[in-house]
């Protein structure tokens, strides 16, 4: 009976695994990997330079913020962000995605805003601007390292918002 069950299970799930393998090569409409941040002269600093060809994902290299999440939360306590003033007060997440180059410099900031059920939303623009200003002012980024070489990498900080106030930072 067990052999029959496992045989049926393998036959039933085999098509699912072949479909899942095809999803690993997702590309955006511009041909770049999903999440890639292309230089935009209207938004980005033209003097910000990358060190290599491919920008790595943050999980592929060692890098991050000096002191990690604990330090980010301390900085948030030192310089707290004003509570959102627009009505209605919202709960959700604001993610700032950006590039850290091999010298620890940052640019190419992009913002994604979602509500508590992960649907796109728009928070108070002044509140979002304050979060972006806070993120841009962080200057202790560690260059990405892998096997003794420095790399550019994508980084993101997700600000958890509860009733219009930042309550956590999720790197």
Domain boundary assignment for the chain: 26-170
Question: Global pTM?
Answer: 0.77
Q: Which residues of 42-58 are buried (b: 16+ CB within 10 A; e: fewer)?
A: eebeeeeebeeeebbeb
Residue 13 has pLDDT above 60, yes or no: no
Question: In the structure encoding, which two tokens stand for residue 107, read together?
Answer: 């640019």
What per-residue confidence (pLDDT) applies to 30? 55
Residue 52 has pLDDT above 90, yes or no: no
Residue 138 has pLDDT above 90, yes or no: yes
């Amino acid at each position: 009976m067990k052999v029959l069950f496992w045989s049926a299970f393998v036959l039933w799930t085999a098509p699912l695994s072949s479909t899942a393998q095809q999803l690993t090569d997702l590309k955006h409409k511009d041909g770049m990997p999903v999440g890639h941040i292309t230089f935009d002269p209207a938004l980005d600093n033209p003097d910000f330079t990358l060190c290599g060809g491919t920008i790595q994902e943050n999980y592929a290299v060692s890098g991050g913020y000096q002191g990690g999440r604990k330090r980010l939360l301390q900085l948030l306590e030192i310089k707290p962000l004003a509570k959102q003033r627009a009505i209605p007060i919202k709960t959700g997440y604001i993610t700032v995605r950006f590039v850290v180059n091999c010298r620890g410099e940052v640019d190419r900031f992009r913002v994604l805003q979602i509500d508590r059920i992960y649907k796109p939303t728009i928070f108070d623009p002044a509140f979002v601007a304050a979060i972006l200003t806070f993120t841009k002012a962080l200057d202790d980024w560690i260059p990405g390292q892998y096997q003794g070489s420095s790399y550019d990498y994508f980084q993101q900080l997700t600000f958890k918002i509860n009733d219009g106030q930042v309550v956590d930072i999720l790197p």
